[in-house]
Amino acid sequence: MINDEGGTAGGSRIHEAVFRVRGARLDSLPEQDVLAEETPVALEYNGIAYATMLATPADLEDFALGFSLTEGIVEDLAEIYELELESNQAGVIVRLEIASERFVRLKARRRALSGRTGCGLCGIESLAEALRPVPGVPQGGRVPLAAVLSAMHALRARQPLHEATGATHAAALAATDGSLLLVREDVGRHNALDKAIGAAARDGLLRTGDAAIALMSSRASFELVQKTAVSGIGVLAAVSAPTALAVRLAEEAGITLLGFVRGEGASVYSRADRLVTE
């Protein structure tokens, strides 16, 4: 069972022969280092292969649930009847059984995601599919700016896999008071957000609206705004910059998008009126 803190089991491994360079000189003796794992993860729906992504092999149930929701494969977790994992030498297969109506729609969409690490649009067959419309998020519920800054500060101490390897991204969901509800890590930022959203959906945090802020230890790309919008979360905060397309989508969906959230500073690119600054 995976708990709300997320799991790092299987997410890293020890590499025995790392030679350090210090003072421009190569050490003669090797040292150990901890490396982040990335593994092919194949998603199958009703027995049909749909997508293969490179992901960190931890919290894969959350990943499959979040991916299914944010990619529009299902609209509710009740439409997923079964989920099982099978590991082999090649990677991990995640098998999901979904409602017949959703599976018919899935076959009509036909995607083939050949998984580059962190790629959110690999293999999409049409521009219309890549830029699919997203629902507008609920406009109620203002969020204190101080809560966003506090949550981002807290996120830095909740990334054990990144602390060990320096090679992963983190996604977190926070409440309106800035308290972190859950954190997930992955080599791909999109995968990390899918894991967080999947865990939140499983625990009912999206339905209740408790998850008011999404936080990313990365830049804010278009796909991350898409996933945030589909989840109904009104605020997306990122450590680095957004893209222009991400800002346009955030404005369209009514999402408050912040970039460069570091210390006491940030840049607000859309819907600043949602933030309470007093």
Residues marked active site are found at: 119
If we measure between CA atoms, which residue out of 65, 67, 70, 69 comes closest to residue 82? 65
Distance between CA 57 and CA 52 in Å, rounded?
13
- Taking CB atoms within 8 Å and a gap of at least 24, the contacts of 243-246 are 243/219, 246/220, 246/221, 246/222
Distance between CA 156 and CA 62 in Å, rounded?
21
The backbone torsions φ and ψ at residue 128, rounded to the nearest 5 degrees and listed phi first, read -60, -40
- Taking CB atoms within 8 Å and a gap of at least 24, the contacts of 208-211 are 209/138, 209/141, 210/175, 210/181, 211/173, 211/174, 211/175, 211/181
How does DSSP classify residue 274? Answer: G
Residue type, 14: I
To which H or E segment does residue 204 belong?
A: none
Q: Supply the DSSP string of 127-186, one letter for each residue.
A: HHHHT---PPPP----EEHHHHHHHHHHHTTS-HHHHHHS--EEEEEE-TTS-EEEEEEE
Question: Do residues 277 and 256 lie in contact, with contact meaning Cβ atoms separated by under 8 Å?
Answer: no
Distance between CA 197 and CA 172 in Å, rounded?
9
Count of residues making up the chain: 278
